[in-house]
Structure 1
């Protein structure tokens, strides 16, 4: 009997109990053999929060000099399981052959099947820095190396450095490229004065350094298309379109989000693709679990329905249907 690695909690990553049929479906989908040690822990609990929340890293990461945080391990299933892998690979432009079992956008942990069909090494992926680093030779070694990071670490909400307006403007004045590359995504995801920040990004969208321009475009597409003032957003996109680098790609991605139609929503939901949208400062996720379809925020199910059709037809926003308020909705992902 394998010792349980799981916290005694019921979080969003805990899926329905694992069956041999689900395992077979996943291995056929990915055309690989999943690690026995991974299957073993999932037979105890199909995904969730591990007791040990950290793993050593040979390189500095966004969390510290010597470790990565393991906030969750995905189980096998749809929604918050590895069967949604293709969506994230495409959305974040990650290498084919990775199966992501931890992460939420900017950083990931993954089985690396690029050069293997079984016993894959475990890698840490930093999307913003475009780095992929091996941290364990296999998943069994990964499990053995997990440990509890010190008690002062804020596991529930990892705090990043808080940049002030003055600091950020000083980075621009001093041409401090390294600090700008770290500060831009942190501010984009935080509680920031959006009018001020949007104008700073407009300035930086014409910056001499391509890496800074790319980070501006990535952050706008990833975190700000549903938050920025439309006038600033359109000005940014025009600058991205005129760039002579891969920044142009982010203009197209941002426009896809801005022009996302109700018909596209229906199509994506019927294909069971992961969808999120914002309405009046609330981000809703469309997901399926417990034999129902749900509109959820980050913490709970806000509206639940017995079918996709009921969700599309009966969900209400300020007394109006989803289709009626669609012109006021912005796609998040």
Structure 2
């Protein structure tokens, strides 16, 4: 279910409080999941649809399942295009949402794209939704247009060479904290050389955009590159 298991579970008291606050019952299969892990990236991340979506001709993509604390009970721009009945959304990709549709006692699963104004039932209930999920490798495509969730799923399933190629293409990503987190994961997985090459490019070409504290803390992580990074550290300190 989870490619990156955090093993943080939702507390029963919090589940009961949320249900009482919203005057609903969350689906049993959803509660069973969050009692084991309270949300995260999904291993299976595609779902067949009965009509085209902005993802493709007959499918949609889902990258992350929200935990209890992330569930969305109201969307500001939904006021312009109100939907009947109570909705609680458990996944989001920009203006595209998946949610529990409480027009039935056992909520069905609804896909809503507020940009194209598409509203599409995709499963009879949450268990049915989980059963229908499948996985396939995402094509590289326009990586800079992908969400960080989608990129992380791709990175987790690729070889070290492929990971380095993806991160090299994303070298000008504006969220440098996210980017350096990916480099740290490369190091933790034993791929220090790949991480160092990417780190070096950041120092040489993007130094003015980099968070100083994050970079300063990064140099000591390269235990096998001490001879190389001495001059790179000087370059960083002299020109920041």
Shorter-chain TM-score range: 0.5 to 0.7
TM-score by length of 2: 0.56
The answer for the alignment partner of 1:105 in structure 2 is 94
The answer for the alignment partner of 2:193 in structure 1 is none
Deviations 1:110-166 (A, max 9, x none): 1111x13x3111011011111210010000000000000245366976659xxxxxx
Contact 1:92/1:105 (<8 A) preserved:
no
Structure 2, unmatched stretches of 5+, are 148-172, 182-210, 213-240
Is structure 2 residue 127 aligned with structure 1 residue 136? Answer: no
Give secondary structure in 1 for the equivalent of 2:64: coil
Q: CA deviation at 1:42?
A: 1.1
- 1:37 corresponds to which of 29, 37, 40: 29
Q: Which has the higher contact order (CA 8 A, sep 6+)?
A: 2
1:305-324 → structure 2 map (5 Å cutoff): none
Structure 1, unmatched stretches of 5+, are 161-280, 284-295, 302-316, 319-333
Deviations 1:194-240 (A, max 9, x none): xxxxxxxxxxxxxxxxxxxxxxxxxxxxxxxxxxxxxxxxxxxxxxx
The answer for the alignment partner of 1:23 in structure 2 is 15
Contact 2:39/2:66 (<8 A) preserved:
yes
Q: CA deviation at 1:63?
A: 1.2
1:163-312 → structure 2 map (5 Å cutoff): none
Report the Cα distance in structure 2 between the residues aligned to 1:68 and 1:32, rounded to whole angstroms.
Answer: 27
Root-mean-square deviation (CA, aligned residues, Å) is 3.3
Q: How many residues align?
A: 155
Give secondary structure in 1 for the equivalent of 2:90: strand
Q: CA deviation at 1:56?
A: 0.8
- 2:139 corresponds to which of 131, 140, 152: 152
Q: Which has the higher helix share?
A: 2
Contact 2:42/2:64 (<8 A) preserved:
yes
Deviations 1:64-112 (A, max 9, x none): 11111011000101xxx11x433xx224435361111111331111111
- Inter-CA distance 49–156: structure 2 relative to 1 (3 Å threshold): farther
Report the Cα distance in structure 2 between the residues aligned to 1:33 and 1:158, rounded to whole angstroms.
Answer: 36
Report the Cα distance in structure 2 between the residues aligned to 1:57 and 1:153, rounded to whole angstroms.
Answer: 22
Report the Cα distance in structure 1 between the residues aligned to 2:141 and 2:38, rounded to whole angstroms.
Answer: 25
Report the Cα distance in structure 2 between the residues aligned to 1:143 and 1:157, rounded to whole angstroms.
Answer: 29
Report the Cα distance in structure 2 between the residues aligned to 1:155 and 1:21, rounded to whole angstroms.
Answer: 43
